Amino acid sequence: MENLLIYAVSDSIGETAQQVSRAAISQFGLSEDEYDIRRHPFVNTEEALIELLESAKRYNAMFVYTLVNPKLAKMASDYCEENGILKIDLLTDILSILSEKTGRKPKGEAGIIRKMDESYFRRIAAIEFAVKYDDGKEPNKGILEAELVLIGISRTSKTPLSMYLANRNIKVANVPLVPEIPVPKEVYEIDPKKIIGLTNSPEVLNNVRTTRLKALGLSSNASYAKLDRILEELEYADKVMKKLGCPVINVANKAIEETAGDILDIMKEKGIHKWIHKDS
């Protein structure tokens, strides 16, 4: 038997045509030396397509393709029929049926799934970043590599906001401000546009911290929840934020989504919306 040669052709990366061909071949028990699947990605021009079609004719190859460009798909189909090339069009029929069912025309854009996958992996990377550099961890890396840095005293929603924004594909580091601990020098080294301060009202902080201590089984009389300590921390944080010249958001009685929306608005107003990925 003549060895089977398959051209897996696409105007994107060609993985679908290759995988479908491989899945079909697996049903026939062929050994690897009995077939050859050659992937030809990013075939976006008529010239490139014609060159492959002529090669397929010359070497008696099957032509398996996923071409979302209707003009290229028709060209491939016509050429194969006119020249006796075995062809399998993996997209045209299903696109036609879906168009009829939905009443919409296909976008004709190559690589949409791959772009969706890339968006997914960017989101995962941003989430991993937020976890890794939460609460001021490894400031020499987190702060310097972050697309956004949130600063504030304890219980100003730094962590939940970091995670929420990470789900918008933004790499966020957050830094706690504590009077007894120097602010990481990296905070003063980065573009201040990337920094946003978070604050809260003394009353809300008192309630939240008291509840937190009780949940941990600790005394609510600890200095952490006392009003004078809270006021001291707020004053210290205010001085740091004024020195940095960063915008400040009061998170008191705000939902995380609302505060996140304010942050995104600030990023756009300050001309740093380029850090927000387009598909976020």
Model confidence pLDDT, tens digit, residues 222-273: 999 999 999 999 999 999 999 999 999 999 999 999 999 999 999 988 877 5
* Beta carbons within 10 angstroms of residue 155's beta carbon: 21
Q: Which tokens go with 212?
A: 């937190």
Domain-wise residue ranges, the chain:
4-110, 115-275
State how far the Cα of 81 lies from the Cα of 71, in Å rounded to an integer.
16
Is there a common fold for 4-110 and 115-275? yes
% residues pLDDT > 90 (the chain): 73
How far CA 12 is from CA of 22, 51, 109, 271, in Å, comes to: 18, 17, 9, 33
Known binding positions: 152-159
Known binding positions for ADP: 152-159
The CATH number for 115-275, chosen from 2.40.50, 3.30.1460, 2.50.20, 3.40.50, is: 3.40.50
State how far the Cα of 220 lies from the Cα of 238, in Å rounded to an integer.
25
How far CA 125 is from CA of 20, 84, 161, in Å, comes to: 29, 48, 16
Q: What pLDDT, in 10s, does the model give residues 135-159?
A: 999 999 999 999 999 999 999 999 9
> Would the pLDDT of 47 be above 90?
yes
- Provide the residue type at 30 as one letter: L
Residues 6+ apart with CB under 8 A from 17: 8, 9, 10, 39, 64, 65, 66, 90
Q: What pLDDT, in 10s, does the model give residues 237-251?
A: 999 999 999 999 999
Beta-strand ranges (E) seen in the chain are: 4-10, 35-40, 62-66, 87-89, 148-152, 172-176, 195-199, 248-250
The CATH number for 4-110, chosen from 3.40.50, 3.90.1720, 1.10.3470, 3.30.450, is: 3.40.50
* Beta carbons within 10 angstroms of residue 141's beta carbon: 14
